């Protein structure tokens, strides 16, 4: 079975997304080889099966430049939404949905505890 060549499409918006048959990546990453390679490796590492821990496999050496890039390019912010649109496909990011639900539940819990304590 030959490995299918994965198509890379440069986009104006978003950081990077793996749509199964192709990868969309921000065109501003084109000349940022180190960052681009890291993001590509991450996206390709996503398996079909459930793998939330993949999101936490972080290379802290690359993180500062990644955060800076995201901060300087508001067009990438849409990738932090748990739903993504490609030209012909909609994908849900279940990892993000779970992470957000967890963070929101935790915030509500902490808020409730504080309200109780203040009474
Ligand atoms: Zn990911």
How large is the average pLDDT for residues 13-37? Answer: 90
* Domain ranges (residues) in the chain: 7-93
Distance CA 107, CA 114 (A): 10
SS3 8: strand
How large is the average pLDDT for residues 101-117? Answer: 95
How large is the average pLDDT for residues 80-103? Answer: 84
Q: What are phi and psi of 10, to 5 degrees?
A: -85, 135
Six token digits for residue 28: 């501003």
How large is the average pLDDT for residues 16-26? Answer: 87
Sign of the torsion angle spanned by Cα atoms 109, 110, 115, 116:
positive
Q: How far is the CA of 103 from the centre of ligand 1 (A)?
A: 17
pLDDT of residue 50: 72
Q: Is the predicted pLDDT of residue 1 greater than 60, yes or no?
A: no
Q: How far is the CA of 39 from the centre of ligand 1 (A)?
A: 9
Q: What does the mean pLDDT of the chain come to?
A: 87
Six token digits for residue 23: 């990868």
Tens-place pLDDT, residues 48-62: 667 788 888 889 999
Q: How confident is the model at residue 4 (pLDDT cuts 50, 70, 90)?
A: low
Neighbours of 95 (CB within 10 A): 17
Six token digits for residue 52: 């939330």
Q: How far is the CA of 46 from the centre of ligand 1 (A)?
A: 7
pLDDT of residue 48: 67
């Amino acid at each position: 079975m030959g490995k299918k060549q994965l198509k890379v499409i440069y986009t104006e918006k978003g950081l990077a997304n793996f749509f199964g048959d192709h990868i969309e990546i921000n065109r501003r990453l084109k000349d940022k080889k180190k960052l681009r390679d890291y993001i590509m490796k991450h996206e390709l590492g996503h398996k079909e099966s459930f793998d939330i821990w993949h999101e936490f496999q972080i290379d802290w050496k690359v993180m500062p430049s990644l955060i800076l890039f995201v901060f300087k390019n508001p067009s990438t912010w849409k990738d932090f939404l748990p739903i993504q649109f490609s030209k012909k496909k909609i994908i849900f990011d279940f990892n993000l949905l779970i992470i957000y639900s967890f963070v929101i539940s935790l915030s509500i819990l902490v808020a409730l505890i504080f309200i109780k304590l203040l009474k």
